[in-house]
Amino acid sequence: MDRDELLKNIAELKRKKNAVILAHSYQDEDVRLAADFVGDSLELSKKAAGTDADIIVFCGVDFMAESAKILSPDKKVLLPSREAACPMAGMADAEGLRELKKKHPGAVVITYINSPAEVKAESDCICTSSNAVKIVEHYKNKKIIFAPDKNLGAYCQALTGADMVIWNGWCYVHDEFSLGDIYIAKHEHPNCILLVHPEAPADVLEQADFIGSTTQIIKFVEENIEEMNESAGVIIGTEVEIAKMLQLRFPHKRIYPLADHAVCLQMKKTTLENLYNSLLNEEFEINVPEDVRIKAAAALNKMLELS
């Protein structure tokens, strides 16, 4: 089947099965076209929970589908590709976190949403890249264990002065950004300001004109697009799909990715073909043990309370 036929058949299956399709912003354009909602992982899970759909198809990676299941336990949650697993989430494990908690009794555990359900269940509060600083600020009078992203943790620590034990995990897409990338990008695209995701290393963040989550970066461009004249523009320091998406929306503006190597290969495992097969065969279902789900939901709800 070609793209148009796949999109048509996916839409028909979606109506027939009362499904909702979620696509993370890092997905290819074809997959985003098939989605009911496009955005970041938590935003998408919350939207899905608010629908009357029986099936959620999450075009993203494993921890995102788990988060959707945590918030929508009565819905069937499908992940179109078994191989769509977040490497950073895989760097955190519940047993290791329990050992760390023993070494630091009384510490508050703040876990980035990019983590397995079992790790969320061992946490006091979840955070996202958009609210991490606010969550850490709330708990900064206590010792904090922060997992799993070392760069986001260090960024929060630098801004709040909190006493933090930071897990040694990272997102390879953002951690591979370098000062060299910035030098090249600014040389090739003069008069552009630099927008960077806080999962990037500290030396890269120091050079940024704006630091924010994927959603915050998109919002920044939307709100400032009219001020971008022929000479002004932006360099986007996150996964390349964000710059591509903004280039499509604003074709006459100067919008560039910081580096072409910033590709999340796991996100690209989802295609229109396996999205279609996922809906057709109702594969691959994501389940979270109820005892784990309840504890993880409590940590997620604590974040929502503080946000």
The rounded distance, in Å, linking the Cα atoms of 222 and 94 is: 39
CB 72 within 8 A of CB 50: no
pTM for the model stands at 0.95
Q: What is the pLDDT of residues 73-116, one digit of tens each?
A: 999 999 999 999 999 999 999 999 999 999 999 999 999 999 99
CATH architecture of 88-170: 3-Layer(aba) Sandwich (3.40)
117, 121, 123 from 297: Cα distances, Å: 9, 8, 10
Q: What is the pLDDT of residues 157-206, one digit of tens each?
A: 999 999 999 999 999 999 999 999 999 999 999 999 999 999 999 999 99
Residue 298: how many other CB atoms lie within 10 Å? 16
* Nearest Cα to Cα of residue 199 among 190, 191, 208: 208
The rounded distance, in Å, linking the Cα atoms of 139 and 142 is: 6
Burial tier of 10 (Cβ tally within 10 Å: 0-12, 13-18, 19+): buried
Alpha helical stretches, state H, 18-91: 29-34, 41-49, 62-71, 87-90
* Nearest Cα to Cα of residue 34 among 296, 282, 274: 274
Average pLDDT over residues 22-51: 91
pLDDT at 48 over 90: no
pLDDT for position 14: 97
The rounded distance, in Å, linking the Cα atoms of 155 and 198 is: 7
Q: Where are the beta strands (DSSP E) in 150-284?
A: 164-166, 192-196, 210-211, 233-237, 254-257
CB 103 within 8 A of CB 145: no
pLDDT at 217 over 90: yes
* Cis bond upstream, residue 105 (ω within 30): no
The rounded distance, in Å, linking the Cα atoms of 17 and 55 is: 7
Q: Domain locations in the chain?
A: 3-85+267-286, 88-170, 177-257
pLDDT at 44 over 90: no
* Continuous segment of H or E residues that includes residue 59: strand 55-59
User: Which CATH class for the 3-85+267-286 domain?
Assistant: alpha beta
What is the percent of the chain where pLDDT is above 70? 100
pLDDT for position 43: 86
Residue 135: how many other CB atoms lie within 10 Å? 25
CATH number of 177-257: 3.40.50.10800
